[in-house]
Structure formats: C-alpha cells, structure tokens
Amino acid sequence: MNSINTFSQLSDKENKNHHPSFTDKNFKGPQAFIDFIYPEVRFPPKELYKILGEEKIRYMVKYHHDLLAKTKVGRLFPKDKAKFDETVEKATDFYVQALGGEHIFTDKYGEPHLRSRHFVASIDEKDKEIWLQVFKKVLKDIDFPIEYRKPFWEWIEALSIRMINRRTTFEAPKRVPYDKE
Amino acid sequence: MNSINTFSQLSDKENKNHHPSFTDKNFKGPQAFIDFIYPEVRFPPKELYKILGEEKIRYMVKYHHDLLAKTKVGRLFPKDKAKFDETVEKATDFYVQALGGEHIFTDKYGEPHLRSRHFVASIDEKDKEIWLQVFKKVLKDIDFPIEYRKPFWEWIEALSIRMINRRTTFEAPKRVPYDKE
C-alpha cells in the first residue's frame, strides 16, 4: 500500500524538485493542506454474531484488553479492576452489536461515535499499531474463523485509524492490509 | 467565519435529515472523512523587520513566552530557566527571519518545519486559543504598529493552527479573524 492517501503526499510529489524554502525571497508561506484521509469503515458480515456466539465475542474482547493492558496502550485503561472490567464490558457491548447481536450498546449508550468517545484519551499512531498488532494475535489465539478474518480485519483496521487523535509525525498512519499469516 | 472548512461539516450538511445510524440495518459503516483543512499561511510584509527593529521583536517574543508560561501552555516549556531562555531565543530567531531579518534561524537550525518541530509536545485546540489570545495582548501592550497588525495577525493565526497535533473535538479549530479592539 504505497498509494497516496494524504494531500500533503500529493503536493510533496508535485513539488519534488521544487520544494519551497523559507529562505527563498519569493516564498509567500506554506500552502493549505490536510493531514490525512480517515478511510471508510465497512462493518463485517452481520452473521458473525451467530457464527462466533456471544461467549466467544466476550472472550475475544476481554483477551484483547488483557493483552493491551501489558503494553504502552495499557496506560489508557483504568487501574482499578472494577473500572477496567466496566471498560471491557462496554467495549464488548459494542462488538456484540456491531457483529449482528442485539442493540445492547446503543440501548445503554446511544450512538457509538467512537472517535468522539476516545477524545478523552491521547491516542497516537503507535498506540493504534499496538492495538492492531495485539488484535492479530488474539484472532490467531482464539481460532477466529479463517473465512471471516479478512472482512473482520478490514473493519478493525479502518476503525483503529479513526481513534488517532494525537499526531507525532507528518506521515499518514500506516495501513495494515490483511495478512493470512 | 461560519464557512465550511472540513469535509465532515460538508457531509453533515448533506446528511442533515438522513444521518446514518449504527442501529440502521442498512448502515454499512461510516464514510471516509478528513479532520479539517489546515489553512494556507501567508507571511507578513518583509519590511516589518525594519519597522519593528530586532530589539522590539526580541522583546515581543520574550514577553509572549513569559505570559504563556503562566497559562496552561506553560507546561510545554522547560522549567529550567536557562533552557527556557534557549527556547525563547530559538523562537526569536524564527520571528526575526520570518519578518525580514537575517537568516539567523535557518543558518542554525535549517528549515523551520514548525509543525514537525512541535510534534514532541501535545498541543490541542485550547492551547492554540490561549497562545493566540496572549499574542493579542502582547500586540496591544507593546504598541505594535497599527497598520501592520492585520497582516501580522493573519500570519500567526493561520500558523497557530498548524501546531495543533492533539484533537479533542470533532469541530474544526476556531478561526480568529483580526479584530481591531
């Protein structure tokens, strides 16, 4: 995936041999730019709820959070065990509903608006990479059905980018295509 | 300035009566979006260096930093006095050169790339507002030449938006048009 997904990449390409310099007398100032394009998010097939079953979804989300807690991302979770469990529970409600289960998330919390909900935590590109990397291990360890891994991955991969609200580099967040391994 | 400056505002307007809901069976997932458009930055007239003089520029930058140090933005500056002075010195070099003085910034540090240089610090919309608000007081207090305030303001106003690297809201950062008061 070396495609251009930011306007700044595009203008870098255009200006390859003519990068404006601050020392250039004729330089009027930097152009308008956008940071990067948050990609479209496509939900995975709704039958996943029946195929996985609520118990396995619950296990998956809990396992993901338990592993994350041991990484840099863990700083974002409550230290208190009961509060941590609540966080996992809330996330589980979201996954259950997103994968085709009952409306247990929206009944309690309203629309997901996950980006907005995460503004309270500072989430950078590295956090997103770790989150996704750990999810990869989870899918393998819990024996997630092979035939649904690609659409599931493409969902969470695009979704994870939306949570980034702290930028630490000019480069667009790395896309992580599905990989059978 | 109620103009549309994000693609998400545009799509909100388009979807006014048809906002997709997570609970809608036909909802495939959220669309691609960009956060907001970082506006073009136009330098103020180069004669400002001669009009203000290096001493006044130095005073302006020092005064701005001293006032900022007493705000929430102050957390981003070094606590050590000598290191704080170095920070002010470096900023001053930038202003001197940007306003038409010698190349004292680029000779020491290379291209400004201010956004990149600030990635190390977490700067949100509120920090940007404070930074700008304090600058407004500075211009008044130092008796910045009235006839150059507008282009100077338009420069720093656009420039300040570029430093934002931590988002805490879906709304585009507030534009602050020049105000004679």
Does residue B72 lie within any of the structural domains?
A: yes
Measured CB to CB, residues of chain B less than 8 Å from chain A are: 21-23, 27-43, 97-98, 103, 105-106, 111-112, 115-116, 119, 122, 155, 158, 162, 165-170
* Mean pLDDT to the nearest integer, A139-152: 97
Residues B49-60: tens digit of each pLDDT: 999 999 999 999
Taking 60 as the threshold, does the pLDDT of residue B17 lie above it? no
B97 contact residues in A (CB cutoff 8 A) = 22
The total number of structural domains that make up chain B: 1
Interface of A with B (CB under 8 A): 21-23, 27-43, 97-98, 103, 105-106, 111-112, 115-116, 119, 122, 155, 158, 162, 165-170
Backbone angles phi, psi at B60, to 5 degrees: -60, -45
> Quick check: is A139 in a domain?
yes
| pLDDT per residue as tens digits for the range A21-46 | 888 888 899 999 999 999 999 999 99
Question: Which positions ≥6 away from A144 have C-beta within 8 Å?
Answer: A52, A60, A138, A152
Domain assignment of residue A127, yes or no: yes
The whole-number average pLDDT for the span B33-60 is 96
What ipTM describes this predicted complex?
Answer: 0.90
- Domain containing A110: what range? 45-181
What is the count of residue pairs from A and B with beta carbons less than 8 Å apart?
92
**A12 part of a folded domain:** no
Residue B142 lies in a domain: yes
pLDDT tens digit sequence for B143-155: 999 999 999 999 9
Is B136 inside any structural domain?
A: yes
User: In Å, how far is B52's CA from the nearest CA of chain A?
Assistant: 19
Contact B41 A29 (CB under 8 A): yes
Cβ distance of A34 and B33 shorter than 8 Å: no
Structural domain contains residue B19: no
H or E element, residue B37 = strand B37-38
CATH code of the domain covering residue A145: 1.10.490.10
Q: For residue A23, which residues of chain B lie inside 8 Å, CB to CB?
A: 103, 106
pLDDT digits (tens, 9 = 90+) for B62-114: 999 999 999 999 999 999 999 999 999 999 999 999 999 999 999 999 999 99
Q: Is residue B85 in some structural domain?
A: yes
Q: Is the pTM of this model over 0.95?
A: no
